[in-house]
């Protein structure tokens, strides 16, 4: 047995000291985040657990074969997560000190502790996840199994359909119902294609039964069937790629039993169909990537499905077109072998969407949403400056007063939702804002340069629900909202039992740790980033393309979200998570190339 040299002993001592410092800072961060007393016994417990965790990380990563760039990617991801956390919670991490220096010191120490903690957890999870392998018996689901999956999902959602019959109708839904039934003119404020789809199935149901509720229920059934078909298609694809049966079962239970999936299946919202067709677009794109050559006669169904799902992605929600444009250069890059065919397909989808949204809607005099609707973030930032009573020049005051009385803004400003400020503008002089865009852009830019902190704080408050793990501010609804369209909730399932069951199921995420993360948009965003980083390190990098539809949805929300945290806006991320989890497993590198 060889004796350790002095240099080896010194390295061991340095490593031990480094672990102690990292564990201490991580324990400090946990105490600060949880407002635990440093003199309490929990601080000792935190330190011991952190020391054990960091020691395990050294052993686990020390014996594993790591891909090139492993430490760098894990460090960058940990830095990003730390930045997200600090941006959302920095006001609560100052230790309660009045001194700016001590406040800064507390935040920096917490930041270091969080970074070490996130980095360690990411490294461990990366290595553990790398042990997942696809099944050797990869095969698509049999016809019988596909039918059982399809019917099983519908069966899981049936109680929620009966409880909410004819379907969940919020004010947005009722506005579209009013358009579909001729009460008010058509408008593209909500997706007109979705309104027309609702109108089609409503007329079928109403024509057969002469019942308004049956007409609404007919559309809801169409939506349930579409969702179930897309999810079955996804499971069939993943089974054919070698995803383990137990994991397919978990995905089925996630889609079938988590309450928001069931409630959204019976809610008349454009967001639900948009999410379904965005997932279908990604699935078909994945299947096309597997083809060595494209044969129009042989693959016409797949290509038609690709065209339809891509076009509906552009049409069903306003940000869908921007998600499509965001993906376009990456799609062409990945499909360079079929660049001509893919360019024709993508440009055809895009041109048809622009044609319908532009000249066709104009020809039929479809009312457009007001310009103010696209200004959620800028209006919130300007309103924040005014609410904080910052100094404005006479020119700036006069310009704002042309639209709305400056003194009213603080009463309407809500940091997490832009609707009150937008309503204030719309009900005063929004036309002046639309006619003087350049002046207001200069006003917005000038105030941002003068008061950057207010702008940053306003942006954080308006968007943090999409990038910071916390319960979604807006989740689900029940039945038919009060309205003037004559609709009422018939309550097919009467009595207190269904009501209590619904209340319990919807309160569970606020009561049970870990399960609550399944309701957190930020947690799903972090998971998607982690999976993309894992694929970058361990997998075939061209398949990062299939994360872009879902991450692109979040990016577009950061540019124009009206609400700080609404699960329905980020629903593509939830619906597509089983697909994103599976890609790194089935598209791992088949050889040791690139390992260090």
pLDDT tens digit string along 444-456? 999 999 999 999 9
* 593 within some domain: no
Q: Summarize pLDDT for 293-304 with one digit per residue, the tens.
A: 777 778 889 999
C-alpha–C-alpha distance, residues 460 and 510, integer Å = 23
* 281 within some domain: yes
Within this chain, do residues 239 and 376 fall inside the same structural domain, yes or no? no
Spell out the residues 6+ positions from residue 114 whose beta carbon is closer than 8 angstroms to its own.
26, 29, 81, 82, 85, 86
- 409-413 average pLDDT score: 95
C-alpha–C-alpha distance, residues 464 and 202, integer Å = 37
Contact in structure between 415 and 461 (CB atoms under 8 Å): yes
Spell out the residues 6+ positions from residue 488 whose beta carbon is closer than 8 angstroms to its own.
480
* 461 within some domain: yes
What's the pLDDT score for residue 596?
37
C-alpha–C-alpha distance, residues 26 and 52, integer Å = 12
Share of the chain above pLDDT 70, in %: 96
80, burial (CB in 10 Å: exposed 0-12, middle 13-18, buried 19+): middle
Spell out the residues 6+ positions from residue 6 whose beta carbon is closer than 8 angstroms to its own.
none
Mean pLDDT of the residues in the chain: 92
Contact in structure between 533 and 581 (CB atoms under 8 Å): no
202, burial (CB in 10 Å: exposed 0-12, middle 13-18, buried 19+): buried
C-alpha distances out from residue 62 to 54, 57, 58, 123, Å: 12, 8, 6, 11
What's the pLDDT score for residue 6?
52
Q: Omega before 289 cis (within 30°)?
A: no
C-alpha–C-alpha distance, residues 379 and 448, integer Å = 12
419: nearest Cα among 383, 388, 373, 484: 373
Max avg pLDDT among 64-68, 143-147, 424-428:
143-147
C-alpha–C-alpha distance, residues 393 and 138, integer Å = 68
- 369-374 average pLDDT score: 86
Estimate to the nearest angstrom the gap between the alpha carbon of 415 and the chain centroid: 20
What's the pLDDT score for residue 595?
37
Within this chain, do residues 194 and 325 fall inside the same structural domain, yes or no? yes
What's the pLDDT score for residue 39?
80
Which DSSP string do the residues of 498-527 spell out, in sequence order?
A: HHHHHHHHHHGGGTSTTGGGGG-HHHHHHH
C-alpha–C-alpha distance, residues 408 and 403, integer Å = 11
Which of 77, 97, 129 terminates a domain? The answer is: 129
* 228 within some domain: yes
Within this chain, do residues 394 and 361 fall inside the same structural domain, yes or no? no
Domain count, the chain: 3
The SS3 call for residue 67 is: strand
Within this chain, do residues 353 and 493 fall inside the same structural domain, yes or no? yes
Within this chain, do residues 387 and 348 fall inside the same structural domain, yes or no? no
Within this chain, do residues 170 and 242 fall inside the same structural domain, yes or no? yes
* 2 within some domain: no
Q: Summarize pLDDT for 36-73 with one digit per residue, the tens.
A: 888 888 889 999 999 999 999 999 988 888 999 999 99
The pLDDT-based confidence of 12 (bands split at 50, 70, 90) is low
Within this chain, do residues 436 and 525 fall inside the same structural domain, yes or no? no
C-alpha–C-alpha distance, residues 6 and 28, integer Å = 33
Estimate to the nearest angstrom the gap between the alpha carbon of 417 and the chain centroid: 17
Within this chain, do residues 433 and 581 fall inside the same structural domain, yes or no? no
Within this chain, do residues 384 and 518 fall inside the same structural domain, yes or no? no
Within this chain, do residues 233 and 346 fall inside the same structural domain, yes or no? yes
Quick one: tokens of 272? 């639900």
- 534-541 average pLDDT score: 93
Domain that holds residue 35: 16-129
Which of 69, 99, 129 terminates a domain? The answer is: 129
pTM of the shown model: 0.93
Quick one: tokens of 393? 């020049």
Within this chain, do residues 339 and 221 fall inside the same structural domain, yes or no? yes
* 471 within some domain: no
C-alpha–C-alpha distance, residues 591 and 561, integer Å = 43
pLDDT exceeds 50 at position 335: yes
* 472 within some domain: no
C-alpha–C-alpha distance, residues 26 and 51, integer Å = 9
Which of 99, 129, 159 terminates a domain? The answer is: 129
Q: Summarize pLDDT for 462-493 with one digit per residue, the tens.
A: 999 999 998 888 888 999 999 999 999 999 99
Q: Summarize pLDDT for 245-294 with one digit per residue, the tens.
A: 999 999 999 999 999 999 999 999 999 999 999 999 999 999 999 887 77
* 580 within some domain: yes
Within this chain, do residues 209 and 283 fall inside the same structural domain, yes or no? yes
């Amino acid at each position: 047995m060889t004796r350790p040299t002095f240099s080896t002993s010194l390295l061991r001592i340095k490593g031990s000291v480094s672990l102690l410092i990292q564990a201490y800072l991580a324990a400090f961060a946990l105490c600060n985040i949880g407002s635990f007393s440093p003199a309490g016994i929990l601080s000792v417990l935190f330190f011991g657990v952190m020391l054990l965790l960091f020691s395990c990380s050294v052993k686990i990563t020390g014996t594993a074969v790591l891909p090139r760039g492993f430490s760098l990617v894990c460090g960058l991801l940990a830095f990003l997560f730390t930045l997200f956390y600090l941006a959302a919670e920095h006001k609560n991490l100052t230790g309660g000190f009045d001194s700016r220096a001590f406040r800064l010191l507390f935040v920096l120490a917490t930041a270091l502790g969080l970074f070490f903690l996130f980095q360690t957890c990411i490294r461990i999870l990366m290595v553990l996840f790398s042990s997942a392998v696809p099944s050797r018996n990869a095969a698509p689901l049999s016809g019988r199994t596909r039918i059982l999956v399809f019917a099983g999902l519908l069966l899981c959602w049936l109680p929620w359909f009966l409880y909410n019959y004819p379907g969940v109708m919020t004010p947005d839904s009722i506005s579209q119902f009013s358009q579909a039934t001729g009460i008010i003119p058509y408008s593209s404020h909500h997706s007109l294609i979705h309104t027309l789809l609702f109108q089609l199935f409503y007329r079928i149901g109403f024509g057969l039964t002469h019942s308004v509720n049956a007409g609404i229920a007919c559309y809801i059934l169409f939506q349930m069937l579409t969702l179930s078909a897309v999810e079955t298609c996804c499971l069939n694809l993943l089974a054919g790629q070698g995803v383990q049966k137990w994991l397919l079962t978990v995905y089925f239970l996630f889609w079938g039993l988590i309450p928001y999936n069931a409630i959204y299946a019976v809610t008349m919202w454009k967001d639900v169909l948009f999410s379904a067709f965005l997932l279908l677009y990604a699935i078909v794109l994945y299947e096309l990537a597997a083809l060595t050559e494209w044969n129009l006669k042989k693959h016409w169904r797949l290509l038609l499905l690709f065209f339809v799902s891509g076009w509906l992605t552009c049409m069903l929600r306003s940000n869908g077109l921007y998600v499509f444009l965001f993906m376009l250069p990456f799609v062409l890059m990945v499909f360079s072998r079929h660049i001509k065919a893919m360019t024709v397909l993508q440009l055809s989808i895009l041109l048809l969407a622009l044609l319908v949204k532009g000249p066709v809607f104009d020809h039929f005099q479809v009312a457009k949403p007001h310009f103010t609707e696209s200004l959620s973030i800028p209006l919130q930032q300007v309103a924040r400056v005014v609410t904080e009573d910052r100094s404005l020049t006479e020119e700036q005051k006069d310009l704002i007063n042309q639209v709305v009385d400056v003194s009213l803004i603080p009463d309407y400003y809500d940091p997490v939702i832009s609707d009150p400020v937008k309503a204030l503008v719309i009900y005063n002089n929004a036309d002046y804002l639309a006619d003087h865009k350049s002046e207001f852009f200069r006003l917005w830019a000038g105030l941002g340069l003068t008061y950057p902190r207010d702008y940053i704080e306003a942006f954080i408050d308006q968007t943090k629900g999409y990038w910071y793990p916390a319960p979604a501010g807006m989740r689900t609804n029940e039945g038919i909202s009060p309205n003037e369209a004559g609709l009422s909730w018939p309550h097919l399932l009467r009595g207190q039992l269904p009501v209590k069951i619904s209340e319990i199921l919807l309160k569970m995420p606020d009561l049970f740790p870990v399960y609550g993360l399944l309701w957190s948009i930020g947690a799903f965003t972090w998971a998607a980033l982690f999976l993309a980083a894992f694929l970058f390190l361990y997998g075939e990098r061209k398949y990062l393309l299939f994360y872009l539809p879902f991450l692109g949805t979040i990016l577009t929300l950061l540019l124009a979200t009206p609400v700080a945290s609404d699960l329905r806006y980020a629903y593509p991320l939830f619906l597509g998570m089983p697909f994103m989890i599976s890609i790194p497993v089935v598209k791992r590198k088949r050889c040791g190339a690139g390992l260090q």
